[in-house]
Structures are given as structure tokens and as C-alpha cells.
Amino acid sequence: MKGFISFIAVSALAAVMSLASCQDEREPVDTMFSGFMTGYTDSQGYISSLKDDMGNTYKVNNKSEKLQPDTLVRVVAVITLDDQKQAQIVQVAYPISYVAPKDKILHDSVRVKDPIQIESIYIGGGHLNVNIGIKVQKEGTKHSLIYSQLESPGKLKFTFYHNAYGDKPVYTKHAYVSIPLSGYGLHKNDTVFLSCKGYEEDYDYKLVYK
């Protein structure tokens, strides 16, 4: 099942701090923000523009990691915007993002429901976007996280499977998931469901598709 299992590089995006603290108040200060976005790569494979989930598109004026040329890529990025609304990528992570396989085709060995923590969840940019907290014991710990589409007539339902491989829950690292929702025939105000096991209580989300 190549592509179904993604091993988490458990490194969170850095917290965004104010750029104004060390600058003279009269100096122009770039706007900084972070979030899920869609990147567009150029013929060399560098991200040439970013589109946020509110529909705003920004030209990127620095080179990213080299990716597949002339394609779209889902990212979680920290960027700054200058007064010309051009973006500088400060930090970027690549969320787990693939078309959800049908749950019935998954082998029982991957249907492990160790707990996770949902930090935030929303539908935007044609994706179901989730910021997940996973408790680990130390750096370099092996974890896997996959999602699938549950068989449910008339409903679009997803579930997360997390395998901690016996790792102890000591402190929290982050993983990002962005499930593409195109191809399901969704209409405005349809409901999308997500369930998963939590540390204190299980999650059962109902989100409105807009």
C-alpha cells in the first residue's frame, strides 16, 4: 500500500514572533503569517506563488526546496509579505495529503488507533485541513499516521489511524494533514465527517463544506 503510510517528521513550524520588537517604529515592518496554502511550482521546481485558503495569491520572491516542476503542492508555510504583497517563505512543511483510500482495502495491521490530539481543523482551499498533536518520548521516534474514507451511504466520512509503536506520550510534536475533497461531488453546505481516537476523549467532527 505504497503512499498510504506516512512517517511523521515530528518537527513543528516555529512559533511566529513579532518582527517589530527589535526594529525602529518608523521602519516598515513586513507582515508575517502562517497556515495551509497551495504552492505552484515553476519549470525548475521552485514554488513561484502561493495561494492561501481565503483565495489570495502571492508571488514568491525567494527559492524554496526544489520540487516537481509545473505542479501544485499543498504546504503549511510561514511567510512574510512586503508592501508589494510579495511573499518570502520563512519556513515550510509538507502535510500528509493524498486521496483517501477506502477503509475496506486497508490491512488490519494499519488500523491501529493510538490517540492523537486535534489542535485545529477546518475546510478550506478544497481540502480538509488538520493540525495534529502527537505525544512522543524523544526525537526520531517512529510513528505512522494514515487516513481513510469510511463506507457510509450518502455521507463523506474519514477516520485517522495512528500507530505510536509503543512510544510513550511525554511531549507533543505536530503533524499536518490536508485531505483533498475534490471528486466527491460535494455541494455547498454538505457535511463532512471525521473521527479519531483522542487522549482524553475521542473526536467526532461534523464540518460544513463551503
Distances (CA, A) of 51 to 40, 62, 120, 148, 155: 8, 16, 20, 26, 29
Beta bridge partners of 177: 96, 130
* pLDDT, tens only, 39-66: 999 999 999 999 999 999 999 999 889 9
160 touches 150 (CB < 8 A): no
User: What is the structure's pLDDT at 165?
Assistant: 93
Please tell me the distance from the alpha carbon of residue 13 to that of residue 20, in angstroms, as a whole number.
20
User: What is the structure's pLDDT at 29?
Assistant: 56
| Count of beta carbons in the 10 Å neighbourhood of residue 40 | 16
Q: How far apart are the first and last CA of the chain?
A: 32
21's CB contacts (< 8 A; 6+ apart) are none
User: What is the structure's pLDDT at 31?
Assistant: 85
The three grid cell numbers given for residue 13, joined into one nine-digit string: 513550524
Q: How many residues does the chain have?
A: 210
Please tell me the distance from the alpha carbon of residue 100 to that of residue 119, in angstroms, as a whole number.
21
User: What is the structure's pLDDT at 6?
Assistant: 45
The tens-digit pLDDT sequence of the chain (210 residues) is 443 434 444 444 433 333 333 444 545 557 888 999 999 999 999 999 999 999 999 999 998 899 999 999 999 999 999 988 899 999 999 999 999 999 999 999 999 999 999 999 999 999 999 999 999 998 888 899 999 999 988 899 999 999 999 999 999 999 999 999 999 999 999 999 999 999 999 999 999 998
- Give the predicted TM-score (pTM) of the model: 0.86
User: What is the structure's pLDDT at 19?
Assistant: 36
